Structure 1
Amino acid sequence: MALGVLKPPVKSSLTENNFCDNSSTEEKEPQLKSYLILTMLTCFCPAYPVNIIALVYSIMSRNSYYNGDYDGSRRLGKNALYVAVASIIIGLLVITIICTVHFTTMNHWV
């Protein structure tokens, strides 16, 4: 049988300080930057495929963070930010072009 593989429970000695705060030895979690609110606001821009991709990156960043993959979360968060900014720029360009075309061809109404 595999009884030799099991380790007996280790009792701590009375000299060890088990009641101290061990947070100094543990790594602190980095701050979550998934830009979820920004990507939700970009969904109002008229660049729908791009802003949906930004939203997906943001949600993937949050999932990676909660699973403990902080590097992947940081990378996906940066991607979400870049795609969200691109979505805003594309949306502003589309709005500008539509307004320009609309108001320059409106002379036949006067």
Structure 2
Amino acid sequence: MSLGGPDPQVKSSLGGSVFFDRGSMDEAPPPLSSYLCLTIFTCFCPAYPVNIVALIFSIMSRSSYYQGDYDGSRRLGRNALYVAVASIIIGLLIIAISCIVHFTTGDF
């Protein structure tokens, strides 16, 4: 038992928080599922505030993954997926309603 010596598997960040170095352990990190491509695709749907929320969740998921918080990354990635799917559904509804209004109120 060494007194006063730092543990080689514990590192501290610039903000002062302490996290474990997973690079020296035998366990591989789980795969990243932040759904960034899906959330970028949803930015083209016309439900803009919801799109931005999905993109922010996805970016936060990637950030948590690279900081070593795998459970938080998984949770934020799942939230990004749910919000992205909701954004696609809302966008399709907006497009459908605008097409119905446009083609039913036009003078032919």
TM-score, normalized by length of structure 1?
0.76
Cα-to-partner distance string for 1:82-102 (whole Å, 9 max, x where unaligned): 000000000000000000000
Q: Distance in 2 between matches of 1:105 and 1:56?
A: 38
Q: Structure 1 residue runs of 4+, over 3 Å off?
A: 4-7
Percent identity reads 70
Q: Distance in 1 between matches of 2:58 and 2:43?
A: 13
Cα-to-partner distance string for 1:18-54 (whole Å, 9 max, x where unaligned): xxxxx9x621100000000000000000000001000
1:101 counterpart = 2:75: no
Q: 3-state DSSP class of the match of 2:30?
A: coil
Q: 3-state DSSP class of the match of 2:43?
A: helix
Query: Which consecutive residues of structure 1, in runs of 5 or more, have no partner in the other structure?
Result: 8-22
TM-score, normalized by length of structure 2?
0.77
User: Matches of residues 36-47 of structure 1 in structure 2 within 5 Å?
Assistant: 36-47=36-47
Q: 3-state DSSP class of the match of 1:28?
A: coil
Q: Distance in 2 between matches of 1:45 and 1:6?
A: 57
Q: Distance in 2 between matches of 1:56 and 1:30?
A: 21
Which of the two has greater strand per residue?
2
In the alignment of these two chains, the number of paired residues is 89
What code does the residue aligned with 1:81 have? L
